[in-house]
Structure formats: structure tokens, C-alpha cells
């Protein structure tokens, strides 16, 4: 039977990636310092966002600038459902009564945020998935701008551009670690499912995929909804990591960080999505320490401020110069040394 052998071959990928994430969490736990703890939480959240983006972009090949909109939807769901009713009454008086009284645990808010984002992904996606190439990308950007504009102006339910505070803060790394691992497994399961397979085929050769019976807009929509749900859950957890949300938390800054981590890691690879985050985040953190100053013997060596951004940009350019398809390209970590494949047997043309 063909199927089980394929499964065995690839389940190593999410297991290896999870092990990497667990290693980061253990380092944070052993270090025990609060700022470092927060850094690792940020890394896990970023893993959720980049893997969520990969689920759609990686499999479909359609670049989306709009996925952070779903994180925004999820983040505000966390605000609506977990802040104390009294505080909600002050900052967001326009909420319906049942929502005003609601107070659910953070993990339930993450699930609800994912569900809410998935619903809107279905609505937007039904229209957007008929587009292709750059038109689709621009339309996703328009969606981001639309969501941002609504959340920046609907004062009575989103408090407009001012911060919504009072979201219960979750400070331990474990819930974020578990969420990131779950997301990695969801993304993996989708990529090897028949819909994931059909979508990746459509990315390589749309005409041939359609001729093989693939309904491209439909499989794209399925990926869009799943990735929207992941982004929504990530947005809710993000809100719980800092305790507040504003519409601009989920706008251009986060969009470009997320996209560039995916591009550096390798757009078509789940391993690339995770490694892109881990490598770039570690680099950013390392440069921050160097900027703050390192004790060498009696003297302190510190890089001038601003080096962090410049060095990060330079590293990204270098990676993309030497590996234009990203660190992982299209391949995945499988725990085996890749065999070099001969392009063809002799005499086989």
C-alpha cells in the first residue's frame, strides 16, 4: 500500500520541528529570566503566525499580504471574551449583552478567535480565491487594510485606535509551546492530505492540476480557511502575551516580519517556516544583546544603536542571494541525509 509508506516518510518532519521548539522552551525555563522568557514566547507566537501563513502561501504559491488581518480578528475576540465585564463596559460599551458578560479562559478564547477568523476567511476567501497571482495578493492586502480600518474606527466595540487593556496575561511558555506544536502538526497534516496535495500540484502546474480533476478555487479556499483559523488563534494568544490589543499591533509591521521570515526560511517548506522564525529571531535577539553591551574582561563592548536593523537586512539579503528559494527551499527536514538524485538514468534520455 502506498499511503502508509508516505506517512512514515514524513511524520519525522513535525516531530523534529516540535523537538526544536521544546528545546527552545527548555532553554527559557532553565534560564529563568523574565525578559528571556518573554522572548521565547514571542518566538512561539511568531512560529504560529509564520506556519499559519505557510499553510496557505506555501501550498498555494499565492503570496498573501492579508493574513495578519485574521490575527487582528482573533486578538479582538480575546479582548471581547476574556476582559472583566466591568472593564469592557468602560472601553467597549457597544458590545452586545451576552458578550459583555462573557468571561472565558485564555485557551477557549484562542479557539474562539480561530473560529471567528475561519468564518471570515471563508467569506473573504469565497471571493478572493477566484483570483490568481498578483491580483490575488493585492486583494489580500486590501482585505488587511479593510479590517484595520474597521477596527480603527468602530469605537463602541473595538475602542478605535486606543489600546484595549485588561486582557489576562499568560506568562509561562508552555501554553504557547503547545499551541505552536499543535499548529505545526495541523499544517503538516494539511500539506499531506489530498487537498494539500492537490493544492501543491496546482501551485506547480495549474492547467495540469485542473485536467487531473482539481477544483483550484475550492482547494485554495480550504487552505485559506485553515490558515485563517491558525492566524486567528495566534492573534488571540498574542493578545494574552502582552495583555492589550490595538488595531496597529496587527498591521504592516507584523505583516512584513511574518512574510520575511517565511521567505527566508523557504516559502514552500514547513521546516523552512519554523527555521526561518528560529534563525531570524535568534539573530535579532543576539544583535539586541550586542547593542546593549557585552562584558569582555574589564571593558564593555557595545555595537552602536541601529546596527540590529542593518545587520538583519544584510543577513536576509545574503541568505536570499545564495539560497533564493530560502534556507530550506522546497525540502523538509526528515532526519535523513538527503541522497543526491541523479537527473536521469544513463540511456534514459
Partner 1 sequence: MSLVSLSNVSVRYGRLTAVRGVTFTLAEGEILFITGPNGAGKSSLLRAIAGVTPPAGGRIDFADHDITGRAPEDIARLGLSMVPEGRDVFGSLTIEENLMVGTGMHARERSWKARAANELEAVYATFPILKERRHTQAGLLSGGQQQMLVIGRALMTNPRLVAIDEPSLGLAPNITDQVYERLITLRAERRLTLLIVEQSSTRAMMVGGRMMLMRGGEILLDGDARALGQSEAMQAAYFGYGEH
Instruction: Characterize the bridge pairing of strands 299-301 and 294-296.
Output: antiparallel
Per-residue cell: 46: 511568531
Q: What character string, x for contact with partner 1 (CB under 8 A) and - otherwise, covers 183-202?
A: -----------x--xx-xx-
Residue closer to partner 1, measured from CB, 183 or 216? 216
Minimal distance, residue 164 CB to partner 1, in Å: 43
Q: How far apart are CB 50 and partner 1 at their closest, in Å? A: 19
* Cα Rg, the chain, nearest whole Å: 21
Site membership for partner 1, residue 337 (CB under 8 A): no
Region near partner 1 per CB under 8 A, out of 106-114, 120-128, 203-211, 286-294: 203-211
What is the size of the binding site for partner 1 (CB under 8 A)?
A: 32
Residues 76-115 that bind partner 1 (CB under 8 A): none
Site string for partner 1, 268-297 (x = CB under 8 A): x-----------------------------
7 binds partner 1 (CB under 8 A): no
Minimum CB separation from partner 1 for residue 220, in Å?
Answer: 13
- Residue whose grid cell is 541568505: 319
CA distance 53 to 323: 20
User: From the centroid of its chain, how far is CA 284?
Assistant: 18
Counting contacts by CB under 8 A, is residue 343 touching partner 1?
yes
- The region that residue 119 occupies, defined by phi over 0 for left and psi between -120 and 50 for alpha, beta otherwise, is alpha
Question: Is 324 an interacting residue with respect to partner 1 (CB under 8 A)?
Answer: no
Closest to partner 1 by CB, 33 or 349: 349
Residue listed under C-alpha cell 498578483: 134
Distance separating alpha carbons of residues 250 and 75, to the nearest angstrom? 9
Q: Find the binding residues for partner 1 in span 119-178 (CB under 8 A).
A: none
| CA–CA separation, 119 and 141 (whole Å) | 18
In whole angstroms, what is the distance from residue 262 CA to residue 51 CA?
8
Triad 329, 52, 18: Cα angle to 5°: 75
- CB nearer partner 1, residue 201 or residue 236: 201
Give the one residue of 23, 31, 104, 210 binding partner 1; rule: CB under 8 A.
210
Among candidates 106, 246, 98, which has minimal Cα distance to 165?
A: 246
Nearer to partner 1, 215 or 309 (CB): 215
Nearer to partner 1, 178 or 197 (CB): 197
Q: Look up residue 253 and give its three cell numbers.
A: 509591521
Angle between helices 34-60 and 68-82 in degrees, nearest 10: 130
Closest CB 140 distance from partner 1, rounded Å: 23
3-class secondary structure, 11:
helix
Positions in the binding site for partner 1 (CB under 8 A)? 1-3, 6, 9, 194, 197-198, 200-201, 203-205, 207-216, 268, 330, 341-345, 348-349
Amino acid at each position: 500500500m502506498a499511503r502508509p509508506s508516505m506517512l512514515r516518510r514524513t511524520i519525522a518532519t513535525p516531530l523534529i520541528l516540535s523537538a526544536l521548539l521544546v528545546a527552545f522552551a527548555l532553554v527559557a525555563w532553565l534560564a529563568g529570566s523574565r525578559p528571556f522568557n518573554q522572548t521565547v514566547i514571542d518566538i512561539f507566537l511568531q512560529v504560529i503566525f509564520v506556519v499559519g501563513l505557510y499553510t496557505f502561501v506555501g501550498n498555494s504559491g499565492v503570496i498573501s499580504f492579508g493574513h495578519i488581518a485574521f490575527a487582528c480578528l482573533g486578538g479582538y475576540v480575546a479582548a471581547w471574551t476574556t476582559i472583566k465585564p466591568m472593564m469592557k463596559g468602560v472601553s467597549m460599551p457597544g458590545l452586545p449583552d451576552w458578550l459583555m458578560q462573557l468571561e472565558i479562559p485564555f485557551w477557549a478564547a484562542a479557539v474562539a478567535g480561530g473560529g471567528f477568523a475561519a468564518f471570515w476567511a471563508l467569506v473573504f476567501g469565497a471571493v478572493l480565491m477566484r483570483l490568481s497571482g498578483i491580483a490575488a495578493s493585492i486583494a489580500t492586502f486590501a482585505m488587511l487594510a479593510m479590517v484595520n480600518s474597521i477596527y480603527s474606527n468602530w469605537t463602541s466595540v473595538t475602542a478605535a485606535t486606543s489600546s484595549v487593556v485588561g486582557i489576562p496575561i499568560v506568562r509561562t511558555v508552555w501554553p504557547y509551546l503547545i499551541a505552536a506544536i499543535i499548529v505545526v502538526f495541523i499544517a503538516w497534516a494539511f500539506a499531506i492530505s489530498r487537498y494539500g496535495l492537490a493544492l501543491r500540484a496546482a501551485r506547480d502546474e495549474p492547467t495540469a492540476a485542473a485536467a487531473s480533476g482539481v477544483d483550484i478555487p475550492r482547494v485554495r479556499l480550504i487552505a485559506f480557511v485553515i490558515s485563517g483559523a491558525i492566524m486567528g488563534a495566534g492573534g488571540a494568544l498574542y493578545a494574552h502575551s502582552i495583555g492589550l490589543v490595538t488595531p496597529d499591533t496587527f498591521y504592516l509591521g507584523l505583516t512584513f516580519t511574518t512574510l520575511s521570515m517565511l521567505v527566508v526560511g523557504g516559502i514552500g517548506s514547513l521546516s523552512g517556516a519554523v527555521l526561518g522564525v528560529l534563525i531570524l529571531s535568534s539573530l535579532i535577539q543576539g544583535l539586541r544583546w550586542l547593542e546593549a553591551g557585552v562584558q569582555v574582561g574589564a571593558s564593555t563592548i557595545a555595537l552602536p544603536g541601529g546596527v540590529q536593523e542593518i545587520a538583519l537586512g544584510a543577513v536576509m539579503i545574503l541568505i536570499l542571494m545564495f539560497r533564493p528559494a530560502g534556507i530550506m527551499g522546497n525540502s523538509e527536514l526528515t532526519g535523513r541525509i538527503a541522497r543526491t538524485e541523479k537527473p536521469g538514468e544513463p540511456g534514459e534520455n
